[in-house]
Amino acid sequence: MSNYFDVMKHCSKCLLPVTHECINFDEDGTCSICKNHKYKQEEVDWKKREKGFVKLLSSYRDKGPYDCIIPGSGGKDSTFQWYILVKKYKLRPLAVTFDHGLFRPTVIENRERALRRLGIDQLTFKPSWQVIKKTMLEGLKQSGDTCWHCHCGVYAYPAKIAVKFNIPLVIWGEPTSEYTSYVSYDGSETGREVIDEKAFNRYINLGINADDMYEKLGGQVALRDLEFARYPKYEEVKAIGFQSICLGDYISWDTKNQVELIKKELGWKEDPIEGIPPEYGYEKMECMMYGVRDYLKFIKRGYGRTNHLMNFDIRNGEISREEAIKIVEKYDGRRPESLDLFLKWLGITEDEFMKIAISQCIAPHKHDPSRVKRGEALWDRDQWDKMIGEDY
């Protein structure tokens, strides 16, 4: 076993470290996420769960122009949601897309192809690029996370559309039970995760609401510029009988099989991602800056997305822990080539970036720059400036 995995405590079954958000370990050293997964595999009656889902849908079907909202970018999860909810469950959904300003060409093509083939109406919202840049820099300073605008917009915007057009049911995909311990599959009678204002403020918005961000930016933007990041008022969602649920609480989530399904049925295409093995080209392929986000996570917590992916494979019995460690050490923590563009957009130097990032390290992890190797540019890298424009 690598010395690196001896530096701080890791799960005895998977590779998650003690710095993972909302994690705990039992007396045998097994993490709470592994226990969640075991419960999912051994205890959940998925046939019963699905029957409950079908019954729930009957309460919303044919009550208005749309049966539900399905948020999505056109990545693997939302494309599967669109397909299965239309083809199997015969819903008429409205697809709602929050455009974080960083979509890569392939995901745009995937989204358009899927929506056209399935005959789904769609609404898209994209905030000002100048506002996005300011919140990315401030998010980096405050929490070591540049995606505040995305975290907030992805969840708040569909809820706003639900209120505006009186579409009370929003259906998400993968529940957080798959990768964190904020909720669990056995957390209630149905195990259902509720995506509401409480969840939004608890683990989605990084503890920074729209008013907080406005104050932190010190007048660089108007408060109304951040309205996209504000969740609807309780009275508004209550008035329409709002429900926001995860499909993965009602059918057993199986990413790899779902990816094969949408490839076959919708022509969905993968794309390489910075810092991730090539055989996982379905994972987080929609964002230009995912490599930077993953790099920040590695600096802050001591592990990246490859670790995350290996844990799924370990729990599913597809790879040994020892084999997974070798893959993690090969790919995790690479300095992404896209960081050059990111620094240019935000107008900071790499030294300034590293100083901020290292200040966000979570004990007992200490970032070791000597372990970092430089990654290569992605195939579509030269298109990103053209997509966003020269005046950035």
Residue tagged 């569909």 (tokens): 158
- In whole angstroms, give the CA distance from residue 298 to residue 18: 13
Residue range 108-129: average pLDDT? 98
Residue range 36-54: average pLDDT? 94
Residue range 114-138: average pLDDT? 97
Under DSSP, is residue 25 helix (H, G, I), strand (E, B) or coil? strand
118 token code pair: 């399935």
The two beta strands, 93-98 and 121-125, are parallel
Instruction: Answer with the residue of higher pLDDT: 183 or 98.
Output: 98
- In whole angstroms, give the CA distance from residue 114 to residue 171: 17
- The continuous run of DSSP H or E covering 170 comes out as strand 169-172
Class of domain 46-249: alpha beta
Give residue 2's pLDDT: 46
User: Which residue type sits at 125?
Assistant: F
Examine the pLDDT at 330 and tell me if it is beyond 90. Answer: yes
Give residue 190's pLDDT: 46
Q: How far apart are the first and last CA of the chain?
A: 46
Say if residues 332 and 306 touch (Cβ distance below 8 Å): yes
Q: 266-298: per-residue pLDDT in tens?
A: 999 999 999 999 999 999 999 999 999 999 999
Residues of the chain with pLDDT > 70: what percent?
A: 96
Examine the pLDDT at 127 and tell me if it is beyond 70. Answer: yes
- In whole angstroms, give the CA distance from residue 298 to residue 306: 10
Examine the pLDDT at 391 and tell me if it is beyond 90. Answer: no
Enumerate the domain spans of the chain: 3-21+273-388, 46-249
